Amino acid sequence: MILWKVLETDQSIREKLVSTQKENGPSALETLWLNSEMKKIDSANQITINRFIKSYGFPTKGEYGQKGVYAAFYVIQHAPLEMQLKHFNNVLEAGKKSDFKASSIALFEDRARSTLRNANHVQQSTRIRYHELVSSHH
């Protein structure tokens, strides 16, 4: 099943990356290469999950099993903020149905909100710097 393949690729690249980073350090060539590979896998998985959800809806434990639900969950959790926000309610709804552990939902919510706060902070800082630059040239 496609969802199981997505879950396997999502988790296996991360396991390899963590192991390699511990052995060789974060700046080692192999670690950097695996990080690059992880980004490619993440992008492909995001496309797959978006298409799946568009065609079949958000996977449920009853229909696709725990692996299927977590495939969507991990891909969305590792995705850019835009995708996290797009599927935020789907993830929370699945959590209410007990398709995820409560701790997983809490972690997802915290990460999404933290990323959003950071993005807003950067946006505000950029606006402030822009206004300072414009003001200093007048």
* Residue 64 Cα distances to 3, 58, 59, angstroms: 8, 10, 6
Q: How far is CA 4 from CA 12, 69, 75, 95, 120, in A?
A: 12, 9, 12, 19, 35
Furthest C-alpha separation in the chain: 64
For the whole model, what pTM was predicted? 0.76
User: What range defines the domain where residue 64 resides?
Assistant: 2-136
pLDDT band at residue 85, thresholds of 50, 70 and 90?
Answer: confident
Please tell me what DSSP assigns to residue 105: H
Summary mean pLDDT of the chain: 84
What does the pLDDT average to over 115-132? Answer: 55
Q: What is the pLDDT of residues 35-84, one digit of tens each?
A: 999 999 999 999 999 999 999 999 999 999 989 999 999 999 899 888 98
Backbone φ and ψ for 27, nearest 5 degrees, come out as -100, 0
Write down the residue that tokens 């052995």 correspond to.
23
* 50 CB-side CA count, 13 A: 13
Number of domains into which the chain is organized: 1
Distance of alpha carbon 6 from alpha carbon 12, whole angstroms: 10
